[in-house]
Amino acid sequence: MVSGRGIWWRRLSVLLASVASVVAATASARADDSARITILEENDSIYFNSDKHYTQGLRASDLGPALAPASGWNRPFDWVGDLAPIFRDGGPDTQRRYAVIFGQSIFTPKNLTLRPPDPTDRPYGGWMYVGSSLLQETNRNMLENLEIDAGVVGPGALGKQVQNDFHQLIGDAQAQGWSNQIQNEPGVMLSYERLWRLPLVSLGGVSSDLVPQLGATLGNVFTYGEIGALFRIGHNLQADYGPVRVRPALSGTDYFDASHLDGHYGYYWYIGAQGRAVGRNIFLDGNTFRQSPHVQKRVLVADYLTGVTVFGGQAWKLDFSMARRTREFIGQKSSDVLGTAAISIGF
């Protein structure tokens, strides 16, 4: 007889194998183009001594090369474009790419010493997933991102093991309430975002732009609509649309194009904000089809973001940011502050 945990591991293995097959299949399309791997860590204790609520997010992604116009890998873009008014072919200035993603997010209450935990505080919960993005840039000033993520919420996401093993490694106290976490549930999310790059002032090699974005996510893990904008000032802003983040957040996605840079290096400082109307957040609402810990969520949530990005052409890129997230549930005493650090390597 297979245990419940064994079943979840088997399902996760199937998901990982599916993503691996996509990576292997797209390897032939890379030709002489280089791969681009990004590793991102979000944590409330990167810059501050904190360990609560959205406490940790890990995201690893692989951005593929631009697709050749005659490549069969354009067909998924065309199929989606036949069903919805997105991914329209903009001619020679259209660039399409794929990205594959692996991630894990961990959520806890503020007081980690209570067993059982405070029922009025955020429940314990974990989310482990794999995903894939279809990215299209049109006319070098608009980016579309269609992303699907699938995985598991609950003990199968290994949030308890990751948090407590790390706490043991650094000699910190272990969280005591993981036995009361949100229960196992398969999770699926479909997200679509559209971003525009609007140039502003340029002077002496330093320029500025505004990157507004609109989007929506549907799924049993998160459901929300989003609107936001990022203001940037620096050099070689045309390489991307801002820093990547763990969803939900104001993100420039994994997209990066070094082919039109003025020189090999670039940098920018940025500040931005995003507002979300939240229909579902499983880490606050609890499980979909069974009883689990839950609290009353706030429908309107906002993020305020600032940070810096530096990069050396296709070879490397570093992002450092800090975000303040407004209160997400009734009874939350204050907003949360998150730190993000990311490195991208082209090879």
pLDDT of residue 137: 96
pLDDT of residue 33: 55
User: pLDDT (tens digit, 9 = 90+) per residue, 186-198?
Assistant: 999 999 999 999 9
Q: Which two tokens stand for residue 263?
A: 């020189």
Q: Which two tokens stand for residue 248?
A: 């939900």
pTM check: above 0.85: yes
Q: How far apart are CA 341 and CA 347, in angstroms?
A: 20
pLDDT of residue 91: 74
Residue among 128, 135, 22, 154 nearest 77 (CA): 135
User: pLDDT (tens digit, 9 = 90+) per residue, 124-138?
Assistant: 999 999 999 999 999
* CB neighbourhood size of 161 (10 A): 12
- In terms of Cβ atoms closer than 10 Å to its own Cβ (0-12, 13-18, 19+), residue 205 is exposed
pLDDT of residue 34: 67
pLDDT beneath 70, residues of the chain: 1-34, 49
- Domains defined for the chain, CATH in brackets: 4-24+50-346 (2.40.128.140)
Residue among 179, 101, 94 nearest 147 (CA): 101
133 with 145: CB under 8 angstroms? yes
Q: How far apart are CA 305 and CA 228, in angstroms?
A: 11
Q: 160-169 contacts: CB < 8 A, separation 24 or more?
A: 160/124, 160/126, 162/56, 162/104, 162/106, 162/126, 163/55, 163/56, 163/106, 163/108
